[in-house]
Amino acid sequence: MRGVRRFVKDLLRGRRTKPFTVDRTDESQLRTAIALKAGGADTGPSPEFVESLRERLRTELDDNPPVELPRGNSRRRFVTSVAAASAASIGLGAAIERGLSGAGSAVTAEPPPADQTLMPDNGEWRAVVAAKDLPDGSVRPFDAGTMIGFVRRTSEGLYAVSGVCTHLGCKLALDGPARQLNCPCHNAAFAVDGSVLHHRLPTALAPLPKLMVRESEGVIQVFVPPQPA
């Protein structure tokens, strides 16, 4: 409750809000406080901000200006550039870029290899589901705070994959009967092992990164980046 009160106080004073441990009951109060605050007058950007950001962009882009392309084939090229930006966005959206090493940390337009496993430099094992709730052949979604994903058990072992589409970073939804993970944004679908089932994107779609997973003392744990301090 103290965290919520401090958050609201900062909000009302127009200050940055500070991190704290949030539970589900806090969430709706925070969301409502934001909705009410944003409903007030004067929510546009200040002229000073608009000008200072323009100057910043001018400085950064003049060093490496955006590339002007011929008009022909522009859509395909644009989509490729979106894919490159989206690779960065996925890291932001799922917080998988921070603290990760290996293939998972690179921001690139090229699809990562199919057997990519995310390995945080500074990770921790976090319990995501009771072992008894993950019988052979089943799949369960999880939210480990810094990562979301899906764990599954087969007769051969435990597996976990990221729950974020590798296209634009949308959250995937589990279709249990079909044993697939659907992206609500652009109708892509992945198998529960992370491989791409189908999509209609004009660019290659990378498979879902895999996560390290284990069973310990009756719970399934995944290895994920730690919560921010």
Q: How far is residue 204's CA from residue 80's CA, in Å, rounded to a whole number? A: 9
Contact 224, 144 (CB under 8 A): yes
Q: Which is nearer to another protein, 124 or 215 (CB)?
A: 124
65 scored as a contact of another protein (CB under 8 A): yes
Q: Please choose, out of 69-77, 134-142, 194-202, 205-213, the segment that lies near another protein by the rule CB under 8 A.
A: 69-77
Q: Which is nearer to another protein, 66 or 218 (CB)?
A: 66
**CB atoms < 10 A from the CB of 116, how many?**
18
Q: Which tokens in the block code for residue 9?
A: 């106080």
Site for another protein in 23-42 (CB under 8 A): 27-41
Q: Which is nearer to another protein, 45 or 135 (CB)?
A: 45
Backbone torsions φ then ψ of 56, nearest 5 degrees: -60, -45
Total of chain residues touching another protein, rule CB under 8 A? 74
66 scored as a contact of another protein (CB under 8 A): yes
Backbone torsions φ then ψ of 47, nearest 5 degrees: -60, -35
Cβ at position 101, least distance to another protein in Å: 19
Contact 187, 200 (CB under 8 A): yes
Site for another protein in 86-145 (CB under 8 A): 86, 88-95, 98, 145
Q: Which is nearer to another protein, 12 or 178 (CB)?
A: 12
Longest CA–CA separation in the chain, Å: 62
Cβ at position 126, least distance to another protein in Å: 12
Cβ at position 223, least distance to another protein in Å: 17
Q: Which is nearer to another protein, 74 or 101 (CB)?
A: 74
Q: Which is nearer to another protein, 35 or 217 (CB)?
A: 35
**How far, CA to CA in Å, does 117 sit from each of 60, 82, 161, 212?**
34, 24, 9, 7
Q: How far is residue 191's CA from residue 137's CA, in Å, rounded to a whole number? A: 13
49 scored as a contact of another protein (CB under 8 A): yes
Site for another protein in 78-97 (CB under 8 A): 78, 81-82, 84-86, 88-95
Residue written as token pair 């057997």? 115
